[in-house]
Amino acid sequence: MPSHLEDAATVDLGFARIDLTRKHRCGFPEVIYAEGKAVDGLIQIVSTLHTAGQGCLATRVNEAQSAALLSTFPHAVQERIGRTFWLPSSNQPSPPTGNIIVVTAGTADLPVAHEALATAQAMGINTELIADVGVAGLHRLLAQLDRLRQADVLIVVAGMEGALPSVVAGLVSVPVIAVPTSVGYGASYQGIAALLGMLNSCASGVAVVNIDNGFGAACIASKINHL
């Protein structure tokens, strides 16, 4: 690990500067936010990281990017619902550890949930999904209580009024990472109502990430898991 940030290795592609020492500093290689990136440039970034022997995770991958990446890297793992791309390094992967469960209030929250699942899996964590257990039918959540209590960390994804993380946190003893989604009718304000509801949770042990940020939730869960 470099002793100073100025010693950190980078590759200058002209349009992007690739950070090759982030895994040593932060525990996981640089992740590509694909939205808005040209296909050729995206492939060049992935190739640079892969040539350096690093795993490569890209998020918010659109259909055109996905098709081009799959053609260039046919052995990569693509998660079409969550719009992620994962190209493992050539090194022998370590066995998955821990147990993160991603919970959704409704099926409309699944794209964000799948982004979290794919990110956590790329970071070497066992994952599970419990979908469609929102507070409008609370018996659905209570039927999963034994599974919820087996998790090391819970990621709870919800739109509308965002009540589910508070309910879950009142039932378990592990950290709950709440993810508001932009799902809901007009007064949900594209997820702001859910975000504010989660930030004002009366249950203890709830942390909140930004709207639709399944990736960020999985990063926090991974760091908790690897402590």
Q: What is the pTM of this model?
A: 0.90
Average pLDDT value for residue range 165-170: 96
Overall average pLDDT of the 113-128 stretch? 95
The 8-class DSSP code of residue 102 comes to: E
For 56-111, the pLDDT digits (tens) are 999 999 999 999 999 999 999 999 999 999 999 877 667 778 899 999 999 999 99
Task: For residue 89, give the DSSP letter.
Answer: -
Domains of the chain, with CATH numbers?
Answer: 5-87 (no CATH), 97-225 (3.40.50.1970)
- The answer to whether residue 178 scores a pLDDT higher than 70 is yes
Give one DSSP letter per residue of 200-221, joined into a string: T-SSSSEEE--TT-HHHHHHHH
Q: How far apart are CA 182 and CA 158, in angstroms?
A: 9
- Which pLDDT tens digit goes with each residue over 121-138? 999 999 999 999 999 999
Please say if the pLDDT value at position 185 is more than 90.
yes
Q: Which amino acid is at 209?
A: V
Distance of CA 193 to the CA centre of its chain: 21
pLDDT at 1 over 60: no
